[in-house]
Structure 1
């Protein structure tokens, strides 16, 4: 048995393998409601052998969406639309997760293939964005700095969304604290210039994230795994650092998180990243702290052998992949074939198992 295809248990969840589908935005929702596209898109990964499928960044409030086409889970209609997708994933033998998110100053933007880019004006269906401080992301509209009441609405939004996700049947809750979105904006001194208890020191900059972890754990109880995705570095001078990320990860674990999903970047447009296969794996290893904190690695992980080696060398406990699943929705089955791992295949695909 390979490490990649060995089971992993976290709280009451047991993942059949450690090759998972990372959340990827599809920009195909209507009023935050998932469509048939999402059903087919996510269910196919379960047929392809994924141990866990985490649905895309799903906003906890209307103004938290990255674009007007992003998914949400702040009302009954959205919750009800997610439920059959979760059931389809379960029916095919995988576990289902959802990434709960708020885009902050990077909200109200055009989707990638729109005719224009940048912020969506209110006249075109956009909205005024919020952030830790009134500092715009390069090329986007200036946000409004959140006041005390606004912060409480954010915490309550995550809490309520977590309950809705559980009611829809999701097995795992992931909190999005990466890629320059709201919780990451609070963590980084490049976007957080507050002078209250949510700004300044690392403890203060992490306060909102940690409050949300505690609130979501209260909703989730003792059985449901909670993941936290972080950007372990901003790839920019004066930004959030790997050393700080390791500290925040430990604090999050103390407050109820179970695994840290380690990514990087996304906070500023002037970031400088050396992108190459596995380029974020060393960040995961640093946050993992020699096995003290469970982590998942992500970032141009494209082959079975590469994924297996990451686990063997102790850099991570699980693997999230994204683009490779888009290229091949049966990535896990192909990886099992490449590693000659003896895993359960769908009966319909059994003829492709060995030859």
Structure 2
């Protein structure tokens, strides 16, 4: 039997196959991050036929201060829940499961977009965009943890099948994880365990809010691919702690390098990261990164590089990609 067609039947999130549509920002939301016809039509089209087992909704801001860009979706207040229900309902009606990704941009935010001064673990320029943020106080860190918790509860109330915490691509939690931007001297800095203290507190707060049975995913930027940045060795330590803390699935991508890495062009170019992380955890691991061919997806799964395959830009460009891929394997 095809590896891609094999169900995922262990754990809290059961899936009919191993194909995932990873979160991809569309900038299609209405004013103030509201869901409108453009977003609903887009996800309706992508989920037609239910060929994709899991659709992860693009990163959505948990607070105005953490908004990354214009057109980004909001999970920042309770008034969004009813509209978000429309989105989860459409995807469920088409036969796929869906998880929502929640995020705080930290120093990747801008005053022009948010109306607030950007914040981060330290007053160190963001390596991707050059913003120098205000250093967060411990009280402000606790407030942000509460905002993640509240956003996760909204995701559950809106009928989604799980929530994904975003710690990749140089956003706030990734800024705490990376030694490039976290030079704190308190308990939220230092070694890997210090740099993931905020993650563990977010995971606990989210778990307390959503209950034991609701799946929690975490997207980890598992390497910055930069001098002095985070490494796969850091991520192996972090991944094990995240599993212990109650994360159900790890979704692996890049850190400050973003979702592409210069010089890496093979399909599944983050596979060395997922393969290493799979050796230290027992929870499923999602691999994305330049996968455009169904045979490449099959090969990566057959070699044990990952448990689930995320196909992003190919599905973004061709809404029939999943249907054609699944049918070619039957």
Instruction: Return the TM-score normalized by structure 2.
Output: 0.94
Partner of 1:89: 91
Would you say the 8 A contact 2:7–2:15 is kept in 1?
A: yes
Would you say the 8 A contact 2:252–2:287 is kept in 1?
A: yes
1:11 deviation in Å? 3.5
How many residues were matched structurally? 325
What pairs with 1:1-355 in structure 2 (closer than 5 Å)?
1-29=1-29, 30-48=31-49, 49-108=51-110, 121=112, 126-138=115-127, 139-266=129-256, 272-289=262-279, 292-339=282-329, 341=330
- CA 1:285–1:125: 2 relative to 1, 3 Å: closer
CA RMSD of aligned residues (A): 1.7
Unpaired runs of 5+ residues, structure 2, are none
SS, match of residue 163 in structure 2: strand
- Give the whole-Å Cα distance in 1 for the aligned partners of 2:257 and 2:122: 14
SS, match of residue 14 in structure 2: strand
1:51 deviation in Å? 0.3
- CA 1:259–1:322: 2 relative to 1, 3 Å: same
1:229-262 CA-partner distances (Å, limit 9, x unpaired): 1111101011110011011011000000011111
Would you say the 8 A contact 1:287–1:293 is kept in 2?
A: no
- Give the whole-Å Cα distance in 1 for the aligned partners of 2:294 and 2:171: 31
SS, match of residue 265 in structure 1: coil
- Give the whole-Å Cα distance in 2 for the aligned partners of 1:12 and 1:297: 19
Would you say the 8 A contact 1:10–1:258 is kept in 2?
A: no
Q: Which moved more, 1:76-85 or 1:240-249?
A: 76-85
- Give the whole-Å Cα distance in 1 for the aligned partners of 2:26 and 2:172: 20
- Give the whole-Å Cα distance in 1 for the aligned partners of 2:68 and 2:202: 19
1:291 deviation in Å? 6.5
- CA 1:237–1:279: 2 relative to 1, 3 Å: same
Q: Which moved more, 1:307-316 or 1:44-53?
A: 44-53
1:42 deviation in Å? 1.1
- Give the whole-Å Cα distance in 2 for the aligned partners of 1:320 and 1:220: 25
Would you say the 8 A contact 2:215–2:248 is kept in 1?
A: yes
- CA 1:104–1:178: 2 relative to 1, 3 Å: same
1:273-306 CA-partner distances (Å, limit 9, x unpaired): 5343221111111111176342010000111111
- Answer with 1 or 2: which has the greater Rg: 1
